[in-house]
Chain A
């Protein structure tokens, strides 16, 4: 079964601290993985896609097939990073399987 697990509902850090949002997946094939971000009362926006291997707003994520993980990292958190972050998996269909999300709070 395809599944995405985000173990932390809430992650609180101070500005300037490193951030790691955890995402583990379950899928037997070669998945495509995504991170979406939702700022307060706004739409979800695509943040990262693993195949593009980009850094967006200072965030990076590396697919680790051995650990079936796709953790989102940023070395120095900013207050404007406060948002809801969703990890998502695509298997072999058009739809995405979303995790339950992690709320990141960055305190000044």
Chain B
């Protein structure tokens, strides 16, 4: 298994643009998590899904952020419109039996 796959690995965009981050979880894992990592705030859970259903989105910063999981093998995190303070590394993780496996992350820079 290739592990959790995220794309793109790097994204540079201008303020106001829409950004879509993608994640393919490990096959057979039933939970998927989106995290944001910054120097100032550390690792923050944004949202997680169980069996494709959003369970806890209390970490989503504001309405500009949205996440979907249309099927068991794909999820997206969208930021619209993006702002410079959204610059961070965004990790996706999937889990089975509580052990979370992280993807390589997407480094987002909003100028």
Residues in A lying within 8 Å of B, measured CB to CB:
32, 34, 42-46, 49, 86, 90, 93-96, 98, 100-101
Choose from B43, B56, B99 the contact partner of A95 (Cβ within 8 Å).
B56
Check: B105 CB closer than 8 A to any chain A CB.
yes
Tell whether, in the assembled complex, residue B33 and residue A44 are in contact, meaning their CB atoms are under 8 Å apart: no
B63 to chain A minimum Cβ distance, whole angstroms, is 22
Tell whether, in the assembled complex, residue B95 and residue A94 are in contact, meaning their CB atoms are under 8 Å apart: yes
Tell whether, in the assembled complex, residue B43 and residue A86 are in contact, meaning their CB atoms are under 8 Å apart: yes
Chain B residues, CB < 8 A from A93: 55-56
- Which applies to chain B's interface (DSSP): helix, strand, loop or mixed? strand
Given contacts A49-B99, A94-B31, A96-B100, contact A101 B42 (CB under 8 A): yes
Interface residues on B, range: 20 to 34
A70 to chain B minimum Cβ distance, whole angstroms, is 15
Tell whether, in the assembled complex, residue B43 and residue A98 are in contact, meaning their CB atoms are under 8 Å apart: yes
The distance in angstroms between the C-alpha atoms of A100 and B43, with both chains bound, is 7
Residues in B lying within 8 Å of A, measured CB to CB:
31, 33, 42-43, 45, 48, 50, 55-56, 91, 93, 95, 98-105
Tell whether, in the assembled complex, residue B104 and residue A94 are in contact, meaning their CB atoms are under 8 Å apart: no
Tell whether, in the assembled complex, residue B100 and residue A101 are in contact, meaning their CB atoms are under 8 Å apart: no
Tell whether, in the assembled complex, residue A45 and residue B102 are in contact, meaning their CB atoms are under 8 Å apart: yes
Chain A residues, CB < 8 A from B48: 94-95
Tell whether, in the assembled complex, residue B104 and residue A42 are in contact, meaning their CB atoms are under 8 Å apart: yes
Q: Which residue of B lies closest to A94 (CB)?
A: B31
Tell whether, in the assembled complex, residue B105 and residue A100 are in contact, meaning their CB atoms are under 8 Å apart: no
Tell whether, in the assembled complex, residue A44 and residue B55 are in contact, meaning their CB atoms are under 8 Å apart: no
Chain A residues, CB < 8 A from B101: 46
The distance in angstroms between the C-alpha atoms of A93 and B98, with both chains bound, is 9
Tell whether, in the assembled complex, residue A101 and residue B98 are in contact, meaning their CB atoms are under 8 Å apart: no
A93 to chain B minimum Cβ distance, whole angstroms, is 8
The distance in angstroms between the C-alpha atoms of A34 and B100, with both chains bound, is 10
The distance in angstroms between the C-alpha atoms of A98 and B55, with both chains bound, is 18
Choose from A43, A90, A98 the contact partner of B104 (Cβ within 8 Å).
A43
